[in-house]
Structure 1
């Protein structure tokens, strides 16, 4: 049985899966990234996980399998043509020849791309976007990024740098962003941005049920899930915070929609877990700021396979590239 390996690499965890030619995840494993050990250690872990997944699935299923190719979704700026991880801040990588090293280690074709692109590719082709031609995907997590799939193909832009929606500077925001700008969208509307805003407000004495849940000595434990929990209990501050974040996302999307004219927008990452708490203010703001000709047909949904989209997309990206290379 021929399968493709898909690997989703994050700053905290690496998820590796085996995916059949139809896009079904057959087997998956998850391990800590341990980026502090350096790029060589992380690349070795990726290779070892692919081998472990192949052996584990073969033993579990009693099926002989062959891994045809591997696709790796990496954070940051990636040059998929040269196979180089140009810059991944949360991994500490710069100009790393990832494909060359992994192919030498695994003795099979390896293809890399930005992790948001592979995630959106998986959702667009096999998840919530299946059957749609023009799909814009947004991941709302530690940061905010996007990717566009048109007729089954990813859009890259000059220097492969398209999609950095989180670094649009928004009117009314002023917090410094690690990118060097001030007031970037993701400083407020990402999952980590909302948590950061909440901590700042609570330290300033903001009235909220979160004050009793997280006194000063426990404030660092506050998570995005806690904001949703407070929202569901009717906490005015949590409701206001998520309304503002959703509206900011909608406003940013109102800049993107006229440029690429998608028929579907998929919200993924941790933001998808917030559901309508974010989506309702997002859609209100978005639809109020775009022409009726865009608004009447545009759908906004959450990701269907939020956990597996990165694995599926990476594997199917590898399939697409491998078949193309073989023709």
Structure 2
């Protein structure tokens, strides 16, 4: 999967923090993170230039994972919803390449997560798998024949915007009834807001304390579920079933045999897994057995996956170049 030698820098741009990993083979040799600037696009580009300005001489390329839609061929951004700036057709890779002097490859952050978990994480050894990231929204990636699928417009595996309810809620993407409207961290908080406001759940009230709704997060809801709170358990059951139904559909369409779940609310995997497993089991007559695994790599998966992707792209472009010379 990786180029034979050299180091690759992976950068994962998040809404609140930017994480980076320097990777050699599949080993992280250095890592760090900094706050994501909120002053606009120019501030973010300036920070990324600073991060790539003094690369180790053996660094062969940079992988940049972004929380939005990108064009992997022109290496430009198309749509980044949660970071201020004008990102439509912005040539971000070329901008960084001028400052760092090595190739820069961009991809969606969920696909970066998929690369990491497939190569060194919970999907290692799997040939055909679905990777889901559960946070404020829902992201995803698909592996076929041992490789994460990455299209020119990097939306392959974008499970959060698969429609599962034609009469559902409006989604931030403009669609109706998308998976992330019913199976994300924000959906989980929405399910539990009434229980919190009306003190229906003594367990949740105890967990939230004096902060009330301000403390209503996936983590606090998971604590209430650990205390056998029926409202929290029902909310996780609902999320797990929606995820299982959507993942099962992907497994049918793409002949996948494994689902890996990560992201911010995957810490509550124990509460999501039972109903998700049950929903996946409903599809096994056409898919065969589907394994369900929690992700292994945690918050470093995005930067690690971006570095691994940079290695894959570098190796691929070297092969294409040698083939052209042979012609």
What TM-score does the superposition give when structure 1 sets the normalisation length?
Answer: 0.89
User: What is the match of residue 46 of structure 2?
Assistant: 44
The yes-or-no answer on 1:194 pairing with 2:188 is: yes
RMSD over aligned Cα atoms? 2.2
Determine if contact 1:71/1:111 at 8 Å carries over to the other structure: yes
Alpha-carbon offset, residue 51 of structure 1 = 4.5
Alpha-carbon offset, residue 124 of structure 1 = 0.6
User: What is the match of residue 102 of structure 1?
Assistant: 96
User: What is the match of residue 140 of structure 1?
Assistant: 134
The yes-or-no answer on 1:270 pairing with 2:264 is: yes
| CA distances 1:272-314 after superposition (whole Å, capped 9, x unpaired) | 21122111111111212x1335233x21101111222212211
Alpha-carbon offset, residue 194 of structure 1 = 0.5
Alpha-carbon offset, residue 104 of structure 1 = 0.7
Alpha-carbon offset, residue 208 of structure 1 = 4.4
TM alignment of 1:1-327, pairs within 5 A: 2-21=6-25, 23-34=26-37, 36-51=38-53, 66-92=58-84, 93-156=87-150, 159-171=153-165, 174-203=168-197, 206-214=200-208, 218-288=212-282, 290-296=283-289, 298-327=290-319
What TM-score does the superposition give when structure 2 sets the normalisation length?
Answer: 0.89
Other structure's SS at 1:46 match: helix
Alpha-carbon offset, residue 85 of structure 1 = 0.7
> Gapped runs of 5+ residues in structure 1?
56-64
| CA distances 1:94-133 after superposition (whole Å, capped 9, x unpaired) | 2211101010111111100111111101111111111111
Aligned equivalents of 1:3 and 1:150: distance in 2?
26
**Number of aligned residues:** 313
Aligned equivalents of 1:152 and 1:124: distance in 2?
8
Other structure's SS at 2:46 match: helix
> Gapped runs of 5+ residues in structure 2?
320-327
Determine if contact 1:6/1:71 at 8 Å carries over to the other structure: yes
